[in-house]
Amino acid sequence: MKEKIKFDDHQLDTKIKNLFTEATGNLKMDTAFRHKLLTISEEQRPLSPFSRFLEKEICLPVFSLPAFAVILMILIGISAHSFLLPENSPQPKYEIVEMNYGDLNMCISNRY
């Protein structure tokens, strides 16, 4: 049976530090990289306010592509529905009234 390893606080602190030392111990900038960083300082000009605005990173939370696609399709469906031509438009009701020419003249002469 595997013996359970135990750490007291001080041992744990030491262990954590040693782990980071082991992981990063050899890591250093080489001469070429140092020179590259120095060269950038000479070549770089300060950004204008407009450039600074353009370079600003804005993270938009987009939950997932399928969910986004579904929402998009629903919106297209809703807006497409308003463009559909109605199949059976209600016909205007016309009432044809037949009038005699004589009756029409009498109406007009009574008025004047």
Binding site for another protein (CB under 8 A): 2, 4-7, 11-13, 15-17, 19-24, 27-29, 33-34, 36-38, 40-42, 44-47, 52, 57, 59
CB of 85 to another protein, least distance (A): 46
Burial string for 14-52 (b: 16+ CB within 10 Å, else e) reads eeeeeeeeeeeeeeeeeeeeeeeeeeeeeeeeeeeeeee
CA distance 34 to 14: 32
Pick the closer one to another protein by CB: 11 or 105.
11
Q: In the structure encoding, which two tokens stand for residue 10, read together? A: 């001080």
CB of 11 to another protein, least distance (A): 7
Pick the closer one to another protein by CB: 55 or 98.
55
Pick the closer one to another protein by CB: 38 or 84.
38
